[in-house]
Amino acid sequence: MLYPSIDSLLNKIDSKYSLVSVAAKRARQLQEKDDSKLQNVVSHKKVGKALEEINAGILGYTNKPEESNS
């Protein structure tokens, strides 16, 4: 079984696409500087750590509406 589960992650972020984008960006940040915001992590891989941070509510995203040029 995967931890955290996809169902619990989708309760935090509304779409799989957004989930992958946020996790990938954070994993790149962890690759450059390993500054994990969690004390006890289950995963040893960067993407797993990013997903755990999302599940803990530390990471998220805001959906900014596009501005109209009219």
pLDDT tens for each residue of 31-51: 999 888 888 888 889 999 999
DSSP, collapsed to helix, strand or coil, labels residue 7 as: helix
Does the pTM surpass 0.75? The reply is yes
Q: Where are the domains of the chain?
A: 6-55
pLDDT of residue 33: 92
pLDDT of residue 70: 56
pLDDT tens for each residue of 15-31: 999 999 999 999 999 99
Prior bond of 4 cis (ω within 30°): yes
Instruction: Locate 70 and state its tokens.
Output: 């009219």
pLDDT of residue 68: 63
